[in-house]
Structure formats: structure tokens, C-alpha cells
Amino acid sequence: MIIDCHFHVDETMLTLEKMIEGMDKNDVTKTALIAPMNGTMFELDSIFQQGLQHLFRFLILNIPQIGLGIYDGLVKDGYLKLYGNSYKIFTKPDNDIVATAIDRFPDRFLGWVAVNPMTHVSVEEVELYLNKPGFIGVKAHPFMHEYSIKALDPVAAMCETKGMPMIIHLSSEPDSYKYLPENYPELKIIYAHAGLPFWKKLWNYVKNQPNVFVDTSSDYLNPSIVKKAVESLGYRKVLYGCDGPYGMKKFNEYDYLTKKSWVDSLQIPDNQKEYILGKNFLALID
Ligand SMILES: [Zn+2]
């Protein structure tokens, strides 16, 4: 069974019906949804943009002191700045959008509860969503919402007690990937985008952390980074995800094939790919 562990709902970009169609075509049984994190964001298909992405990856991997500076510059004053465009970041992501999608397609969608601790959302409010059908864990975005990882203490404690995972898009806060595993050793954690912006350093650390994983999602990555992550971490610690609809060029035309091909093209046995494509995630939400 193939499960996409990281996808956003934003029907201004991709309708639920089109998502189901794309999932069917690519044998994806279920997708774990997250509320939209920012305003509608279509991208250009330009060589210039691809060149920038390539350079960014190179710097993060090889000259992180420069790469991290660029990364930090992507978020400013509540906006995400990409390729000369600005997109409003939603301070309080609307989890009802995810609840509605699950109601409409309960067999196809799961849900992450998106939390921004800077909005002083109570643990009780988060629990209310976690008790709704289909919700499987909590999404946190210290990068776009600009807070220290320590702000996640209450929600991390709650998730650890409930045995529910968290999926986290890290900021560049030094060593922040160590904080939750050290303080909540039983907490199941997925670091989004293969642990961006730390990659190699994070993989070295995560290797020895039994409850910490990474996903393969987003255009921040490419096949080579996914390959490096799997080589470094092993197939039991990597989870397939797309991070769609971000990266789209046109309304209702999401390219499901590319992200899946990053896993399909790995030089590992098929039964190991099955773990990356779904079994690892199923074990986490069991
Ligand atoms: Zn995402």
C-alpha cells in the first residue's frame, strides 16, 4: 500500500477530485493532508529557477554557513519570498479544511493537525482535532512561523503521551533537530524534506534515534538528495511524501509522477521501497 505522508490541501491550486485522480493513477492509496500554510503559490518553469534550486541544494549540502543564510532569507515579515515573489504565510492554518476533506473522502485522506504555538493555541484545541476521524498527528512549522523548537514543548509532550507522531519543518535554529528527541525520547518525529536545512548533520544524528524519521517531500529535494538520505539512514527511516500542491505550475496539474520516481529509481530491492512508500508510515500511525 502506498501512502503519501505529506501533502497540503489548497483547492485554489488543486481540487480534491484531481488529487484522487492523481493518486489513483499512481497507485497511492492514502494521502496525509495538512492545511495550506501560505497563499496560492504557482511557480514558473524556468531554467533560472531550476538553477537557483540547484545552487541552494549545493550550498546547504556543502557550504551550510552560506546555505543557511539564504534559507533564513526566504521568510520575512510573515511572507515567504521565492524567486522574487511574496506569498502570505498563514499565522493560524485552518485545520477545518483538512477535516472537511477527510469527511468527503474518508477512505483516501488522513490528516495532520497544523499547529502554530505562537498563536497560543491550547493543547486541548489540538486534542479536539486529534480526536476527529482520520487525524493521525501534528504538523509544526518553526521555519515559516518563526519560533524556537522549545515552543513545541506542550504539544510534543501531549503527542508523546498519546503515541502520535509529529511532522516538523525545521528552521535554521542551531541543533534544533536534537531538542525534541532528547527531551521526548518516545515521541515519533518525521523531519520534513529530509531534514532541511540540516541534511547531512541531521542524518548522522537521526541514524541513532529510534523514533526519528525523514520524508522525501518537496522540490527542495531532488533524486540525488533522496538517494543520499536513504544511503545514510537506511530504508526504515525514510517516508515517501510529495508536499504538493506546492511546486505546481498550473491549476489542477500536479505532477505526482516525479516525486514517486525519486523512490522508484533508488537502487534498493523492491521490498525495501515498500517500506519507504508506505510501511514505515503505517507503523508510525498504528
Ligand atoms: Zn509541506
Greater pLDDT, 56 or 235: 235
Share of the chain above pLDDT 90, in %: 88
Say how many Å lie between the CA of residue 218 and the centre of ligand 1.
7
pLDDT-based confidence at 85, cuts 50/70/90?
A: confident
The answer to whether residue 52 scores a pLDDT higher than 90 is no
Exposure of 149 by Cβ count < 10 A (0-12 exposed, 13-18 middle, 19+ buried)? buried
Question: Mind listing the pLDDT tens digit for each residue in 268-278?
Answer: 999 999 999 99
Q: What is the DSSP string of 253-282?
A: ---HHHHHHHHHTSSS-HHHHHIIIIIHHH
Say how many Å lie between the CA of residue 6 and the centre of ligand 1.
6
pLDDT-based confidence at 171, cuts 50/70/90?
A: very high
- CATH classification code of 2-284: 3.20.20.140
pLDDT at 80: 93
* pTM of the shown model: 0.96
The answer to whether residue 46 scores a pLDDT higher than 80 is no
Distances (CA, A) of 104 to 62, 129, 133, 197: 45, 16, 12, 35
The answer to whether residue 286 scores a pLDDT higher than 90 is no
The answer to whether residue 45 scores a pLDDT higher than 80 is no
d(CA 168, CA 166): 6
Say how many Å lie between the CA of residue 286 and the centre of ligand 1.
22
Question: Mind listing the pLDDT tens digit for each residue in 110-138?
Answer: 999 999 999 988 899 999 999 999 999 99
pLDDT-based confidence at 259, cuts 50/70/90?
A: very high
pLDDT-based confidence at 43, cuts 50/70/90?
A: confident
Q: What's the mean pLDDT in 163-191?
A: 98
d(CA 276, CA 270): 10
pLDDT at 183: 98
Say how many Å lie between the CA of residue 248 and the centre of ligand 1.
13
Q: What secondary structure letter does DSSP report for 38?
A: B
Domains of the chain: which residue ranges?
2-284
d(CA 127, CA 158): 8
Q: Are 111 and 99 a contacting pair, CB within 8 Å?
A: yes
Torsion angle of C-alpha atoms 145, 61, 202, 142, degrees rounded to 10: 0
The answer to whether residue 44 scores a pLDDT higher than 80 is no
Say how many Å lie between the CA of residue 35 and the centre of ligand 1.
9
Say how many Å lie between the CA of residue 14 and the centre of ligand 1.
15
Give yes or no for a cis peptide into 185 (omega within 30° of 0). Answer: no
pLDDT at 50: 83
| Residue 163 DSSP SS3 | coil
Greater pLDDT, 56 or 28: 28
| Residues β-bridged to residue 4 | 31
pLDDT at 107: 98
Q: Are 216 and 276 a contacting pair, CB within 8 Å?
A: yes
Q: What is the DSSP string of 69-111?
A: HHHHHTEETTEEEETTEEEEBPSS--HHHHHHHHHH-TTTEEE
The neighbourhood of ligand 1, an ion, using CB within 5 A, equals 243
Say how many Å lie between the CA of residue 140 and the centre of ligand 1.
10
Say how many Å lie between the CA of residue 8 and the centre of ligand 1.
6
The answer to whether residue 88 scores a pLDDT higher than 80 is yes
